[in-house]
Structure 1
Amino acid sequence: MSLDIKKFLKEHPPFNVLPEKELDFIINNSSLNYIPKDEILLKEDQYSEYLYLIVKGGFVLKKDGSTVEFLETGDYIGDTSLIFNQPNRFNVKAIEDSILLEIPEEIFRKVISKHPEFKEFFTKTTIDKLTEGYKKIQVGTFEDSSLIPLKQFKLKEPLYCDKEENVKDVASKMSEKNLSFCLVGNKKNLEGIITDKDLKDKVLSKGIDPTKITADQIKTYPVEYIESDKFLFEAVLKMIRKNIKRLPVIEEGSVIGVVEDRDIFIHQSKNILYLTKQIEVESSIENLRQLYISVEEAIEPLFKTGKDIEILQKYIAEINDRFVQKAVKLSLEELKEDFDFSFIVLGSEGRKEQTINTDIDNGIIFKEEIEKEKALKLGKIVIDKLLKIGFPECPGKIMASNPEWVKSAKEWEKTVENWIIQPDPVNIMYTSIFFDYRSIYGNTEITSKLREYIFNLIEKNRNFLVMMTMKTLEFEPPIGFFREFIVEKTGEHKNELDLKKGGIFPIVQGVRILALENRISETNTIDRLRKLRNKIGENLSDELIESFKFLQTLRLRSQLEKIKAGKKPDNYINPENLTKFEKDLLKDAFKIVKKFQEMLGIHFRLRV
C-alpha cells in the first residue's frame, strides 16, 4: 500500500492522534477498494464488517427512498454499526466512482481498545463535537468555572434567625459563624435578610441599643435569590443588576446555601464588576467614552481566554445596559422632569446576543399620552449622549430619537396589532426587531403588560406565526446537494458565505416564533431554547444550542480577524480558511438548522 495512505491518515482525525507504529499496523492489515458509481455498499439492516474511510469520491445515505446525508472524502461508513454492534440504519450508495480504505472489524476493535481518544471520536454525538468545536475556535483553553451550576459551587452554609430575635443576638450568631449575613425565617420560608451593612447603617451609626431592636425591624425584604440550576455567571450578573453581594440559592423551594461575591474568583467577573462600578459613578461623557473604548478593546482578550460565547455576550450586554442606563439618568437630570416610562433595547441587544459593538436598537414606551412631548425630548437627549459615548447610529433609525419608536402603551398596542394583522415583509421585519425588547430603565410593569397583550393577540391570529415561519424557511443554509458549501460567486464577498443569513437568523427567528406561540417571556435565544425543551425535544434543543454557539463563535472570530486586518467586520466567512474539523462541524450545524426548519414547516403545516 502506498505511503500516500499514511499521509492521508495523518491528515484526518482521529488517525492523526495515533502513533506511527499503529498507523503501519492499520495500513498493513487493510485494503483499498474501488466502488463504481451507483453501487450499493451497505444495505439497511446489514451489519458492517469494515470501517470504511472514503479516500476519494462520495456516498449517499438513504432511508425509505429519502436522502438523509451525503458523505465525502475523509468521512466514515460503518463506524456506528461496529462501535454499537448494531445493523446499519441506511442504504449506502456511491454517487460517484469512489475509493475506500477498508479496515477490518478485528483491526478496528484492536485499535480502539488501546486508544480511548481514538474510540471517543466515533462515540461523540454531534452535540459533543459542536461543543468541542466552538471551544477550539477560541485560542485559549480552560475549564470555565463560570459554567458551574450553583448547586455544584461551594456555597456558604445558611444562618437563620427568628424575626423576634434582638439584633445583638443576631450579630453574635454572625460573628460566631464568621458570616456577613443572617437569613430571617427558615429554609422553606425566607422572611428577610440581615447583612453586616444593615447592622452598621441601621443600628450602630444611629446609636440604637442592639438589645432593644429586633431582626424584623432591620431586615431587608423581599429577599433576592437564585435557583440552584442556574450557572455561576448568572449569579454574578444578578448581583450586579441588583447591586447586592450575596444570594440565597434555592432548590425545590428550600435554601441550600448562599453564594457571596467574594467567593467568586473569576477574572472576567472581576473585570465586569469593576467596569459596571466605574460606569455607575461616572458622569462625564468623555470619561464614559473612554470606558466604552476599553470595553471594545476587552472583547478580543476575553474571547481568547476561551470564555463561553453565551457568557461573553451576556457580559457585554450587561455592560452596554449600564451605559444606556447612565445615559438615561443623565438625560433625565438635564430634562429636569420625570415621568412614567420604560426605556427598551431591541434586536440583538434585547436578546443579549451582541459582541462586536454594532448599533443598538432602542425605543421608549410611556404610560400616558400627555407625556409624549417629554418622552420625545428624552429620547433625543439619550441618543445624543449614546452617540457621543461611542455607540454607532442605527442606519434604519430604530432609535429613541425617532418618534416612530417612542410611543405610549396604547399607541404601541395599536402598532403591534397592525403588524400582526397585516404580516407583510416590512411588518414581519419590525416584529423581528421589536418582539425581542427588554426594559432596562423605568417602569417594567408597562413592558410586561404589553408583552401579555402581544401574546394574546398572537393567540387569536395564528396566521401571523405561519407567515413568520414562511419567511424563516426562505433562508436556506448555504450547503448544497453533495454537502458542498454554497458561496458567493462574484462581488465583494466572492468565495464567502453568510453565517447570519444561512444559520444564525433561521435559529433566532424560528426560536422566536415558538417562544411567542408558547408565551415565553425570555428574549435570549439560548434561554428560550432551554424553556422549549419539552416542546421540541431535548435532543433537538441541545443540538440547536450548540449549533448556535458554534456559529456565533465562528462569526466573532472572523470579525476580530477582519478588524485586525483593517477591514469592516461582517457576517461572512471563507470556508476554505477553516480546518477540515471546522468545515465538518459547520456542515453539521447547517444540517441541524435544516432539521429545525423542517420541524417548523411540519409544525405549522407548511410541509408534509
Structure 2
Amino acid sequence: MGTFDFGGPPFDALTPSERDKLQGGVDIAYFKQGERLTGPDRPGEALFVILKGLVAERDGDDLLTVHGAGDCVGAMALLHGAPPHVSEAQEETIAHVLPRQLVLDLCRANPRFERFFATSLGDRLAAHAQTQQVRGMAGFMVARVQEAYLHPPLTVPASTSLRSAAVLMKEHRATSLLVEAEDGRLGVLSGSDLRDAVFIRDLAPTAPVGVCATFRTVFVEADDFLFSAQILMTRHGIRRLPVRRDGKIIGVLEMIDLLGHMSSHAHLVAQRVDRAQSIDDLAGAARALEPLVQGMNGSGVPVRDVARLVSDLSRKLQTKLFALLVAETAPDLAEGMSCLVVMGSEGRGEQLTKTDQDNALILRDGGDPVAVRGLCQRFTEAMVSFGYPLCPGAMMVSNPAWTQDETAFRHDLLGWITQPSETGFLNLAAFLDAEAVAGDVNLLAGLKNEVFERLRGNNAFLSLFARPVLAFDTPIGFFHQLVVDRSEAGGGLDVKKGGIFPVVHGVRALALEYGVTETNTFDRIKALNALGRLEDTVAADLGEALQALMTLRLARAGREGADTRIEAGALSKAQHDALRDALLVVKRFKALLSHHFHLGAF
C-alpha cells in the first residue's frame, strides 16, 4: 500500500510512535467517478486522505468545498458526530483510509493533531498559522515576559524626596522606582529622571519625586510575549515596563534584559531614529528597516505584529524627519499649528515593506500653506531617498492638494461626499485610514468626526463607497480551486487585489457606516464584532484570513520587493491550503457585503 506521507499538516504533528501506529492501521481505497466516500448511506466510520483525484463535498445542493491531493475528507462526521455531508468523487480517486478508532486514538493522544480538524475556515487558518509559527519561531520569539529577568518592584509614595529615592535606588542597585500618587496612579522614576531633576531642572534634593516621575505608565502582562513588550517599548520610546499579573505589579522589565532574549534589532532602529541629528542620520536608520523585515520573514512572529512594528518604526522616522525640517526650514511654524498624517497601509499599521508615500499636512486655519511648500518638498524628497517611492496618485505633502488648512480640507471632504467619484472614493478611503504622527492630533480627529457625522444614515453613499470590493475577482473557482494566470511561470495570482483589498476596504466601509474610528483592519473587525455588526464566526474568519494573506504577502515581499503577485505553483501544500481557505473567506465576505450594501443594484 506504500508509505503514508507525514510531511503535511496535521500528520506532521504526530510523534514517531504515533506515526508507526497510523502506518500499521491505514488502508487504501479506489473510487470511481460519481462514487461516494461519505453520505447518509455511508456514516462517518473512516477518515479519507486523498492521494489522487478530486472529491466534491456538498450539503444538499450547496457545494461546500472541493478536496484534492493531501486533503482530508469526512473529519466532521467522524470526530464531531455531525451528519455526514455527501462527498463524491469527481474523477477517479485514490485515498488512504484511516479507521475511526485509529483517528480517535490519535486525537486523544495528540492535541495539535486534534485541533487541526476544526469546524470553521477561520479555525483552520489559525491552525495553519500556528503550525508555521511553531516551525519558524526560535525560542526567544516564543518567550514570555515572565521568563525574562524582572527587577523587583520598588514602590515609593509620590511625596518621597529625591534624596531618599536616590539612596533607595543605590541600596537596591535599582535603575528605577515605581511612584504611587495619592489618587492611586502609578508612575515610573528612572535614574536619568533623578539626574535631570537635580542638574537640569535645579530641583532641591528635598523636592518630592512626584514632580518628576512619569505617570503615563505603559504596562505589560507577565504572560505576554517578549516580542509584544518590544513593540510597546519601540512604539512609546521607553526603556522599562512595569509587569502585571492578575492586576498586581510583580516586577519591572528593562530593555537590557529584554535584549537578552531577543535577536530582532528593532530597538536599534528606533534608537538611531531618536538620536538622529540630520537627514543623513535618518537615512542610515531607514536602511536598517529592510534587513529587519527580512529577518522577521519566516520567523514565526504573527504577521500583524510584524506589520505594527514596521509601521511604528516608519511613523517614528517621519516624525523625526518632520521635526528636523521644521527646525531647519520653517522655524516659525508654531507647535500645534499643524498635523502631519500618514495614510494607506502605514496609517492602518499594516505596512510590510517601504510602500508608496501616502501623507498629508493639515494646517490650523490661519496657517499659510505656501509658506511650508519648501518644507513639504524636502520631506517628500527625503522619503524617496529613504526608499519610499513617490505615490502614483501624488497623495503626498509635496502636492498642494494634500497640504492645506482645515477649511480647505473640510471643503474637499464635502466634495468627495456630495459629488461621488472614483477619485473621491480613493481620497476618502485614504483619509479614513489616516493617523497623526506629528503636531496637533485634534486637527485630524476633528475632520474625521465631521465625516462620520455627515455620513450617518447616508446609505446611498455608503453603498457607492463599498462598491469597489467587487472591482477585482477573487481568484478561486467554482470547485474551490485557485484561479491563476497561466501566462505566468508558476501561475500568477494577485493576493492583494483578489484577497487583501476586499477585506480591508469592506471592513473600512462597515467601520464608516457604524462610526468605528479605529484605523487598523484587525482593530476595526474587533470593534465591529463588539458592536454586534459582525458575527463572531465572521469576525474570527476575517481576522485569520487577512493574517494568512498578509503572511503570504510578507514572504513575497521578502524575496521580490513590492510585487503583489505570487506564484501558486511555488507554494507548499500548507501554503496552498491556507491561501485557498483564506480566499474562500474573502469570497463569502464579498457576498455578505454585496447583500448588506445592495451592491447588486448597480
Q: Fold match, TM over 0.5?
A: yes
Q: Is the 8 A contact 2:30 2:92 kept in 1?
A: no
Residue of 142, 147, 157 corresponding to 2:137: 142
Classify the secondary structure of the residue corresponding to 1:203.
helix
- Structure 1 residue 530 and structure 2 residue 526: aligned? yes
Separation of aligned partners in 2, 1:460 and 1:451: 16
Runs (5+) with no aligned partner, structure 1: 564-568
Q: Deviation at 1:190?
A: 0.9
Aligned to 1:401: 398
Query: What is the aligned-residue identity percentage?
Result: 27
Separation of aligned partners in 1, 2:111 and 2:238: 47
Classify the secondary structure of the residue corresponding to 2:49.
strand
Deviations 1:3-56 (A, max 9, x none): 4xx2574666555667785465335xx35242442x555445973122233344
Residue of 543, 546, 553 corresponding to 1:545: 543
Distance 1:23 1:308, change over 3 A: closer
Aligned to 1:566: none
Residue of 296, 300, 312 corresponding to 1:302: 296
Aligned to 1:591: 584
Aligned to 2:269: 275
Residue of 497, 503, 509 corresponding to 2:499: 503
Tell which deviates more after alignment, 147-156 or 62-71.
Answer: 147-156
- The aligned runs of 1:157-172 (5 Å cut-off) are 158-172=153-167
- The aligned runs of 1:179-190 (5 Å cut-off) are 179-185=174-180, 189-190=184-185
Q: Deviation at 1:343?
A: 0.9
Separation of aligned partners in 1, 2:164 and 2:280: 50
Classify the secondary structure of the residue corresponding to 1:329.
helix
Q: Deviation at 1:142?
A: 2.2
Separation of aligned partners in 1, 2:146 and 2:242: 11
Aligned to 1:214: 208
Distance 1:267 1:452, change over 3 A: farther
- Structure 1 residue 58 and structure 2 residue 51: aligned? no
Classify the secondary structure of the residue corresponding to 2:265.
helix
1:520 maps to a residue whose letter is V
2:406 maps to a residue whose letter is A
Separation of aligned partners in 2, 1:117 and 1:206: 58
Q: Deviation at 1:478?
A: 0.4
Residue of 542, 556, 567 corresponding to 1:574: 567
Deviations 1:491-543 (A, max 9, x none): x6782110001111111112222222333333222233333332323443333
- The aligned runs of 1:215-364 (5 Å cut-off) are 215-216=209-210, 218-220=211-213, 222-226=215-219, 228=221, 232-248=226-242, 258-265=252-259, 271-332=265-326, 333-339=328-334, 340-364=337-361
Distance 1:205 1:285, change over 3 A: closer
Separation of aligned partners in 2, 1:104 and 1:222: 62
- Structure 1 residue 388 and structure 2 residue 381: aligned? no
- Structure 1 residue 25 and structure 2 residue 18: aligned? no
Q: Deviation at 1:139?
A: 11
Residue of 449, 452, 456 corresponding to 2:449: 452
2:308 maps to a residue whose letter is K
Separation of aligned partners in 2, 1:55 and 1:140: 25
Aligned-pair RMSD on alpha carbons?
3.6
Classify the secondary structure of the residue corresponding to 2:560.
helix
Separation of aligned partners in 2, 1:387 and 1:99: 56
Q: Is the 8 A contact 2:187 2:217 kept in 1?
A: no
Separation of aligned partners in 2, 1:505 and 1:202: 51
Q: Is the 8 A contact 2:28 2:97 kept in 1?
A: yes
Aligned to 1:195: 190
Q: Deviation at 1:137?
A: 6.1
Q: Is the 8 A contact 2:49 2:73 kept in 1?
A: yes
- The aligned runs of 1:67-86 (5 Å cut-off) are 67-84=63-80, 86=81
Separation of aligned partners in 1, 2:557 and 2:137: 23
Separation of aligned partners in 1, 2:260 and 2:597: 44
| TM-score, length basis structure 1 | 0.85
Separation of aligned partners in 2, 1:494 and 1:109: 38
1:282 maps to a residue whose letter is A
Residue of 457, 464, 469 corresponding to 1:467: 464
Q: Is the 8 A contact 1:236 1:269 kept in 2?
A: no
Aligned to 1:416: 413
Distance 1:183 1:463, change over 3 A: farther
Q: Is the 8 A contact 1:54 1:99 kept in 2?
A: yes
Distance 1:250 1:26, change over 3 A: closer
Tell which deviates more after alignment, 86-95 or 373-382.
Answer: 86-95
2:455 maps to a residue whose letter is I
Tell which deviates more after alignment, 355-364 or 124-133.
Answer: 124-133
2:571 maps to a residue whose letter is L
Q: Is the 8 A contact 2:133 2:300 kept in 1?
A: yes
Q: Deviation at 1:278?
A: 1.8
Q: Deviation at 1:356?
A: 2.4
Distance 1:543 1:56, change over 3 A: same
Tell which deviates more after alignment, 522-531 or 127-136.
Answer: 127-136
Deviations 1:547-580 (A, max 9, x none): 22221121222233336xxxxx411111111122
Q: Is the 8 A contact 2:4 2:23 kept in 1?
A: no
Separation of aligned partners in 2, 1:343 and 1:478: 37
Separation of aligned partners in 2, 1:505 and 1:359: 16
Separation of aligned partners in 2, 1:143 and 1:448: 41
Distance 1:495 1:204, change over 3 A: closer
| TM-score, length basis structure 2 | 0.86
Q: Is the 8 A contact 2:364 2:406 kept in 1?
A: yes
Tell which deviates more after alignment, 105-114 or 316-325.
Answer: 105-114
Q: Is the 8 A contact 1:135 1:141 kept in 2?
A: no
Q: Is the 8 A contact 1:166 1:214 kept in 2?
A: yes
Aligned to 2:556: 558
Q: Is the 8 A contact 2:77 2:83 kept in 1?
A: yes
Q: Is the 8 A contact 1:70 1:483 kept in 2?
A: yes
